[in-house]
């Protein structure tokens, strides 16, 4: 049976775990050829490649170890994707890191890395992949931003600044590509059950002297009205919608998947 993404090629950054892995797997299950990227233990990367590869009908999905803080490696990754898969029709800029600290104590190197990995990498990947998409007359760029691209929280200055920047980049690129068959959108998740977010629960429990359960519902998810994690499959579903058959008129949009967070 024909699948929605048969014949499509995709590159998902930061896809060795969490949201990126769920998106890569979903795209592969829908027929796309997918290249993975990201860090991790060799056995975890091998497992991700095998899982996504199985959905593609191969032993292992292609993988780039490119560091998203390095423009030269980002350019080489896009070229490697085009060489390995025959194109890069869909680009998902997903790799990201977090650091939580009062602004006056925020380490300079952490600020620089968050801006580089969460924002600047998106620019370099889009710049490298867009000419191929335009030449084909079809392309989909999805930037995984955050609810923190639309509203702020204290102690996350670099992350909030980067994610607000991602939405600005998304809108500007969307205007540039509007007549080319390419779209550029952002997904804005609330708190999603992944290693990046789960790592924030324990420090909150210690800070407030409460159990991890209370730290989750009353502190981390204080502004997520559902009081539940968003699941990675729900983000993958939103990504799937944006690359599906009838999404060509969605362009420059922040798609919230946040349990109602920014409705407040
Ligand atoms: P995660 O930690 O599970 O995954 C992050 C991925 O990025 C991993 O594959 C990691 O190896 C990769 N990565 C980190 N630094 C990299 C680098 N320099 N080069 C290449 N890859 C690198 O986190 P996640 O929660 O799945 O986050 C994915 C994206 O979703 C991030 O952009 C994050 O900001 C965003 N997001 C997450 C949440 C959440 O609650 N989990 C909420 C909103 C937005």
Digits of tens for pLDDT over the chain (264 positions)?
Answer: 899 999 999 999 999 999 999 999 999 999 999 999 999 999 999 999 999 999 999 999 999 999 999 999 999 999 999 999 999 999 999 999 999 999 999 999 999 999 999 999 999 999 999 999 999 999 999 999 999 999 999 999 999 999 999 999 999 999 999 999 999 999 999 999 998 789 889 999 999 999 999 999 999 999 999 999 999 999 999 999 999 999 999 999 999 999 999 999
Is there a single domain that holds both residue 88 and residue 219? no
pTM score, whole prediction: 0.97
Is there a single domain that holds both residue 28 and residue 112? yes
Residue 51 lies in a domain: yes
Is there a single domain that holds both residue 176 and residue 142? yes
- Ligand 1 within 6 A of CB of 169: no
3-state SS, residue 41:
coil
Per-residue CA distances from 190 to 27, 108, 162, 166 (Å): 22, 26, 16, 16
- For 72, other C-beta atoms within 10 Å of its C-beta total 10
Residue 243 lies in a domain: yes
Residue 2 lies in a domain: no
CATH number at residue 96: 3.40.50.720
Residue 204 lies in a domain: yes
Is there a single domain that holds both residue 172 and residue 185? yes
Is there a single domain that holds both residue 104 and residue 73? yes
Is there a single domain that holds both residue 107 and residue 59? yes
Residue 17 lies in a domain: yes
Residue 4 lies in a domain: no
Range of the domain at 203: 193-229
Is there a single domain that holds both residue 40 and residue 166? yes
Distance 67 CA to ligand 1 centre (A): 13
User: For the chain, what is the domain count?
Assistant: 2
Is there a single domain that holds both residue 41 and residue 154? yes
Residue 106 lies in a domain: yes
Is there a single domain that holds both residue 41 and residue 144? yes
Distance 195 CA to ligand 1 centre (A): 8
Residue 86 lies in a domain: yes
Asked whether the beta carbons of 98 and 189 are under 8 A apart, the reply is: no
Residues with a known catalytic role: 159
Is there a single domain that holds both residue 171 and residue 217? no
Per-residue CA distances from 227 to 194, 216, 223 (Å): 16, 8, 8
- Ligand 1 within 6 A of CB of 67: yes
């Amino acid at each position: 049976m024909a699948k929605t993404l048969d014949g499509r090629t995709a590159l998902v950054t930061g896809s060795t775990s969490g949201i990126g892995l769920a998106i890569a797997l979903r795209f592969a299950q829908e027929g796309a050829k997918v290249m993975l990227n990201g860090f991790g233990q060799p056995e975890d990367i091998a497992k991700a490649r095998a899982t996504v590869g199985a959905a593609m009908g191969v032993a292992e999905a292609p993988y780039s170890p490119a560091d998203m803080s390095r423009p030269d490696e980002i350019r080489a990754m896009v070229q490697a994707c085009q060489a390995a898969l025959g194109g890069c029709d869909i680009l998902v800029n997903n790799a990201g890191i977090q650091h939580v600290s009062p602004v006056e104590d925020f380490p300079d190197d952490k600020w620089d890395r968050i801006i580089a990995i969460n924002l600047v990498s998106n620019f370099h990947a889009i710049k490298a992949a867009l000419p191929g998409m335009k030449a084909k007359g079809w392309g989909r760029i999805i930037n995984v931003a955050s609810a923190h691209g639309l509203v702020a929280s204290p102690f996350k200055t670099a992350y909030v600044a980067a994610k607000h920047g991602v939405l600005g980049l998304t809108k500007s690129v969307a205007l540039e590509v509007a007549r080319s068959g390419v779209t550029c959108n952002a997904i804005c998740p609330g708190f999603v059950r992944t290693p990046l977010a789960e790592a924030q629960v324990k420090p909150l429990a210690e800070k407030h002297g409460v159990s991890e359960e209370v730290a989750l519902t009353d502190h981390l998810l204080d502004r997520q009205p559902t009081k539940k994690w968003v699941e990675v499959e729900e983000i993958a579903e939103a990504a799937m919608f944006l690359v599906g058959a009838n999404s060509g008129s969605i362009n420059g949009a922040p798609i919230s998947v946040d349990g109602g967070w920014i409705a407040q």
